[in-house]
Chains A and B, each alone.
Chain A
Amino acid sequence: DIVMTQSPDSLALSLGEWATINCKSSQNVLYSSNNKNYLAWYQQKPGQPPRLLISWASTREAGVPDRFSASGSGTDFTLSISSLQAEDVAVYYCQQYYNDPWTFGQGTKVEIK
């Protein structure tokens, strides 16, 4: 199985600060034939299901604020929140859907300081 490792496990920032979450996969998730990274980012607020934020490593889903951005390729990926808002308090997960079984990271909890 591909192991997804996120860092940090949690972070607490002030409103308006920049948040960065890292995700590292134990194997490459870039499919060379189509040059796509099979990597997604989800946001999960308490008591809610996960919400897809980013697909294909860097494609923001419709309705996702543009303060959310993501980058990376191969085995190393990053989710950024450019100006942290109160409504961004959540746990964020990365997921690879390249190699079965699809696997998730352990999650990164984002809080307001």
Chain B
Amino acid sequence: QITLKESGPALVRPTQTLTLTCTFSGFSLTTKGVGVGWIRQPPGKTLERLALIYWDDDKRYSPSLKSRLTITKDTSKNQVVLAMTNMDPVDTATYYCARISGAYSIPWGSPFDYWGQGALVIVSS
């Protein structure tokens, strides 16, 4: 059974750094083709993929947020961590982590086949 679960603070002050952890089970992030991404969704709005880390530690970031994002993995703990600096109220959203499993070759794309339940993060002073 594949599961993913997001954890982190529900409330963050403006200018602070948000650190979210995705803890997963049922698959390995050392398997070729597998990756874990972070996607956010502001209330009532669409989805935005923030970052993705592949099994080989290759990383992808949203160009508009790249300077604020860092994604890392700890395969021994089955965790992926996203850090987002300089938080602003516009960053208020539900943050999801999700898995891809079919990224075997160029162009390294694969749909998100399993998702966590999401973590609502509110940015407010």
Contacts and interface: CB of A to CB of B under 8 A. Distances in A.
Contacts of A50: 47, 96, 112, 115
Contacts of B100: 97
A104 B49 CA distance: 8
B27 to A, nearest CB: 15
Contacts of A101: 49, 60-63
B63 A1 contact: yes
A45 to B, nearest CB: 12
Contacts of A52: 111-113
Interface residues of A, number: 28
B117 A49 contact: yes
A104 B48 contact: yes
Contacts of B26: none
A107 B97 CA distance: 19
Nearest to A40: B111
Interface of B is mostly: loop
Interface of A is mostly: loop
A102 B112 CA distance: 11
A49 B47 CA distance: 10
Interface string B96-125: 101010100111011111011110000000
Interface in A77-113: 93, 95, 97-107
Contacts of B110: 97
Interface string A7-33: 000000000000000000000000101
A70 B111 CA distance: 15
B76 interface: no
Interface of A: 1, 31, 33-34, 38, 40, 42, 48-52, 55-56, 61, 93, 95, 97-107
Interface of B: 46-49, 52, 60-63, 96, 98, 100, 102, 105-107, 109-113, 115-118
The 3 closest A-B pairs by CB, nearest first: A97-B109, A40-B111, A49-B115
21 contacts: A1-B63, A33-B106, A40-B111, A40-B112, A49-B116, A49-B117, A50-B47, A50-B96, A52-B111, A55-B102, A55-B111, A55-B113, A56-B111, A95-B47, A95-B111, A99-B107, A99-B109, A102-B49, A104-B49, A105-B46, A107-B46
